[in-house]
C-alpha cells in the first residue's frame, strides 16, 4: 500500500461519514413526507368525532406527530423509539399486597367494554414447589416494553409505541389481524377479536358522549383505546384516554386497574420521574407499603382534636388521650416523614397519604406536641439519645427505615418478568418471581364470581379461559386437541 493510499483512507472515511449523515437525514425526511397514515387517521377522526369537528381538526394536527415512532424506528433500523418523549408510563405491582380479589380485572373489563375472557388484566395464583404458595400471585397487565417484540414483528406498524409517553398501542384502523404480535409476545398479553365484539362502538360512544375521543380515539386521532373491533388485536393499553386528559385532569397518571385495587398494590405513573408513585415505590417499598397500610388507621383530625382537648401536651398524655393513635402508628407516621424528601409535596398519588399524615401532625403541633423534639424522637426510637458531651443529631433515618420495615414488611425481592429476553418491560414487581416450573392454581376469588358492567347497561360474568367462549363459535368442534 502506498503512502498516498494511507493518506486517502482517513479522508475517505470522513467523507463517507458525512455522506451517510446527509443521507440519513434525507431518508428520514423522505419517510416523514411519505407518512402513510394521514388520510386513514383523518377519516377515522371524522368518523369517531362526529360533529365535534373542531376536536377532529385538533387531532388531525397532531396526527403528523403520530407517525414519528415509525419514522424513528425505521431510521434506527430497529423498533426502539429513538426520539423518546419525557414520559414513560409504567407500574409497580406489589404482589405481596395483592389479595387476588380480581377487582383490577373487573375494572379493566368495565373501562374497556371487553368481551368475556378478554382479560387484558389477568391475576393468577400459582404453585412453585415451595412449602407455602399462599402469597404466590402474579398480576399480569401488558408490560409496555421499551423494546416490544410485538411491535418489532408487526407487518403494518399498527402495533406501535406512542412517542410522547411510551405506551405500546394497537391502531385498530391499521391492524390486519395477522396475530404475529401475539405470537412474538413472551407474556401472552394479547387477545384477538375473533368475532364481532359484544359492545358496539355506538354504545361506547353513547356511554362516553361527553368525553373527547369517546374513550376510543387518542389525542393523535388514532383509534387505540377500548375493546378492539372484529378481526384485529387488542391488549392492555394503560388507558391512553386517561393519560391524554380526556377523562379529566385528575385521571392523568392513573389507570382503571390501579384505581380499583383495594389494597393499592398497583402504583401507576411515569417511570422516568423520580417522584412518581412507581419510582417512589421502587426507591423505598417499605415506605410505600406503610403509607398505604397506615392510611386506613389514621385518626380523624376532628376526633383527635376532641380527644386531646384538656389533655397534657407531652407524648405520653397525647397517646393516652387519643383513641386511634398509638405509639406504633405515630412512630411509623413520623418515620415516613423522616425518610421522605419533600414530604406532602409533589403530585404523585401517594402524596395524599402524606398530606393526611401532615394534617394529623398539625393537630398534634397545635396541641403543643413537638414531634421534632429530641425528647419525642428518642421516645419513639427514631433518634438516639446523645452522650453528654455530644449535640443531638436529629432524627435517625436508619431507625426510621427500620420502623417502616417492622410495620409493613419489606418485599422479598423485586423483578421484571422474563428480563433476560431483552424486552425491557415497564412493569416492576415486588414479591416472589415465579420460577420456570411455576404453574397456576385457583385464585381465592373465581373469575366466574365477578361481574363487570358494560356500556350497554348490562353486565357479564368474567371468564378465566377464553377458549370456553370461543369454542361456541367453532364450526365443527371435534372436542379433541392436537
Shortest Å, Cβ 147 to other proteins:
11
Nearer to other proteins, 190 or 426 (CB): 190
Cα–Cα dist 204/199, whole Å: 7
Shortest Å, Cβ 413 to other proteins:
17
Q: Kindly tell me the burial class for residue 408, based on how many C-beta atoms sit within 10 Å of its own C-beta (0-12, 13-18, 19 or more).
A: buried
Cα distances (angstroms) measured from residue 321 to each of 123, 295, 335, 377, 479: 44, 20, 22, 19, 70
Shortest Å, Cβ 93 to other proteins:
15
Shortest Å, Cβ 131 to other proteins:
19
Number of Cβ within 10 Å of residue 57's Cβ equals 14
Shortest Å, Cβ 139 to other proteins:
12
Residues 407, 402, 363: CA angle, nearest 5 degrees: 65
Nearer to other proteins, 135 or 466 (CB): 466
Cell triple for 93: 405491582
Shortest Å, Cβ 19 to other proteins:
21
Shortest Å, Cβ 94 to other proteins:
19
In our burial notation (b when 16+ CB lie closer than 10 A, e otherwise), range 344-383 reads: bebebbbbebbebbbebbebbeebebebeebebbbbbebb
Q: Kindly tell me the burial class for residue 181, based on how many C-beta atoms sit within 10 Å of its own C-beta (0-12, 13-18, 19 or more).
A: buried
What is the three-class DSSP state of 92?
A: strand
Question: Does residue 478 contact residue 230 with C-beta atoms inside 8 Å?
Answer: no
Nearer to other proteins, 134 or 478 (CB): 478
Q: Which of 244, 255, 248, 252 is nearest to 221 (CA)?
A: 244
Nearer to other proteins, 113 or 241 (CB): 113
Shortest Å, Cβ 421 to other proteins:
5
Cα–Cα dist 126/113, whole Å: 28
Nearer to other proteins, 194 or 392 (CB): 194
Nearer to other proteins, 227 or 273 (CB): 227
Nearer to other proteins, 46 or 178 (CB): 178
Nearer to other proteins, 192 or 361 (CB): 192
Number of Cβ within 10 Å of residue 229's Cβ equals 18
Q: Which of 143, 166, 146, 168 is nearest to 158 (CA)?
A: 168
Amino acid at each position: 500500500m502506498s503512502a498516498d493510499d494511507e493518506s486517502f483512507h482517513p479522508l475517505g472515511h470522513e467523507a463517507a461519514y458525512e455522506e451517510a449523515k446527509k443521507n440519513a437525514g434525507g431518508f428520514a425526511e423522505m419517510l416523514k413526507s411519505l407518512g402513510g397514515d394521514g388520510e386513514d387517521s383523518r377519516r377515522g377522526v371524522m368518523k369517531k368525532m362526529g360533529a365535534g369537528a373542531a376536536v377532529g381538526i385538533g387531532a388531525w394536527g397532531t396526527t403528523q406527530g403520530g407517525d414519528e415512532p415509525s419514522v424513528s424506528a425505521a431510521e434506527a433500523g430497529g423498533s426502539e423509539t429513538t426520539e423518546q418523549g419525557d414520559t414513560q408510563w409504567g407500574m409497580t405491582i406489589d404482589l405481596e399486597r395483592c389479595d387476588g380479589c380480581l377487582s383490577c380485572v373487573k375494572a379493566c373489563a368495565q373501562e374497556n367494554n371487553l368481551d368475556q375472557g378478554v382479560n387484558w388484566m389477568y391475576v393468577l395464583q400459582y404453585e412453585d414447589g415451595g412449602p407455602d404458595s399462599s402469597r404466590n400471585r402474579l398480576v399480569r397487565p401488558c408490560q409496555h416494553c421499551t423494546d416490544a417484540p410485538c411491535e418489532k414483528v408487526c407487518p403494518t406498524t399498527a402495533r406501535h409505541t406512542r412517542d410522547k409517553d411510551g405506551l405500546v398501542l394497537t391502531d385498530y384502523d391499521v391492524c390486519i389481524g395477522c396475530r404475529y404480535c401475539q405470537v412474538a409476545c413472551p407474556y401472552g398479553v394479547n387477545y384477538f377479536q375473533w368475532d364481532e365484539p359484544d359492545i358496539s362502538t355506538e354504545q361506547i360512544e353513547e356511554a362516553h358522549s361527553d368525553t373527547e375521543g369517546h374513550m376510543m380515539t387518542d389525542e393523535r386521532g388514532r383509534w387505540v383505546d377500548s375493546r378492539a373491533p372484529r378481526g384485529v388485536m387488542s391488549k392492555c393499553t394503560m388507558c391512553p384516554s386517561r393519560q391524554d386528559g380526556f377523562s379529566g385532569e385528575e385521571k392523568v397518571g392513573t389507570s382503571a386497574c390501579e384505581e380499583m385495587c383495594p389494597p393499592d398494590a398497583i402504583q401507576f405513573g411515569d417511570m422516568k420521574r423520580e417522584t412518581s408513585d412507581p419510582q417512589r415505590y421502587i426507591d423505598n417499598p417499605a415506605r410505600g407499603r406503610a403509607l398505604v397500610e397506615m392510611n386506613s388507621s389514621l385518626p380523624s383530625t376532628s376526633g383527635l382534636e376532641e380527644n386531646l382537648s384538656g389533655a397534657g401536651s407531652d407524648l405520653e398524655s397525647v397517646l393516652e388521650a387519643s383513641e386511634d393513635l398509638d405509639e406504633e402508628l405515630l412512630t411509623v407516621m413520623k418515620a415516613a416523614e423522616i425518610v421522605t424528601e419533600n414530604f406532602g409535596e409533589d403530585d404523585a398519588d401517594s402524596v395524599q397519604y402524606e398530606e393526611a399524615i401532615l394534617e394529623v401532625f398539625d393537630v398534634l403541633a397545635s396541641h403543643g406536641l413537638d414531634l421534632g423534639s429530641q425528647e419525642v424522637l428518642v421516645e419513639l426510637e427514631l433518634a438516639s439519645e446523645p452522650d453528654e458531651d455530644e449535640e443531638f443529631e436529629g432524627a435517625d433515618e436508619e431507625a426510621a427505615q427500620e420502623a417502616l420495615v417492622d410495620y409493613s414488611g419489606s418485599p422479598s425481592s423485586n423483578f421484571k418478568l422474563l428480563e433476560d429476553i431483552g424486552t425491557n418491560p415497564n412493569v416492576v414487581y415486588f414479591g416472589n418471581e415465579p420460577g420456570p416450573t411455576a404453574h397456576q392454581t385457583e385464585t381465592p376469588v373465581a373469575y366466574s364470581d365477578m361481574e363487570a358492567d358494560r356500556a350497554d347497561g348490562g353486565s357479564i360474568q368474567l371468564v378465566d379461559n377464553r377458549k370456553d367462549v370461543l369454542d361456541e363459535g367453532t364450526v365443527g368442534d371435534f372436542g379433541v386437541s392436537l
